[in-house]
Structure 1
Amino acid sequence: MVKAIKTAAQKTDNLPEPKNGSDYRKLYDANQLLINGIETVSSSVPQLSSSLKTISGGQSEVGTAIKLLAQKDELTAALDTIVEEKNEQLSRAFDDVFIIGAIIVLICTPLALMTEKRKEV
């Protein structure tokens, strides 16, 4: 399962935008404003369009990197929650086993006293 998640996380197609209010969202929004500004200047000044397209391409890669970092944090938090829940369930299962074992011992202890044969003198 972890291998499949890692493989899926490395793909850059259909990346979600970072959560609202997060630091990654602030970076992402600022990066989008830069991209929009570069496109506006590029359309206004045709002589700079080739240079600005290179910058715009770099800014797009920065946006993808921000999305990947946000996705990594979300996946890490989700996996930590999964591991914590799994450990809690295992702990509960072992607790139940020990409780059942204790009940069985408690019930069988008086029966053990009755199984001893007494010698007649």
Structure 2
Amino acid sequence: SDGIEALLSWAKDHPAAVIRNKAARIRSDLSELTARRKADDAQREAEQRVAKLKAELEQTQETLRAVEAGGRPTAPAPTGTKRSKEQLGAIRTWARANGHQVADKGNPAKAVLDAYDAAHRTTNLAAAS
């Protein structure tokens, strides 16, 4: 970076206009790239937060439906039991928000299901205390 900055400083003060113009274009391009990277990072962070909040909302809505139906809130299904499409969707959303790679359809990998169950078991236990 220091070498590039020294080169751009040299070019900025060069007697040839073509060299000065190249240095100005490079600085402008670097500025645009920096701004774009910041915007992309902010967008990715916002998308991850939205995915995480959607997963939490889906889980809370599922709990609310169970309570409204006269039941008790249920703990996440143990691995190996059949889960509804809604539960699998919530798990996929949660997994993506927490850095797991999952397909758009089908059952998530056992490791993802275990991680989801562990995370929600901790949440449910904390809420019960």
Give the TM-score normalised by the residue count of structure 2: 0.44
Q: Give the number of the structure with larger relative contact order, counting CA–CA contacts within 8 Å between residues 6 or more apart.
A: 1
Larger relative helix fraction:
1
Bigger radius of gyration: 1
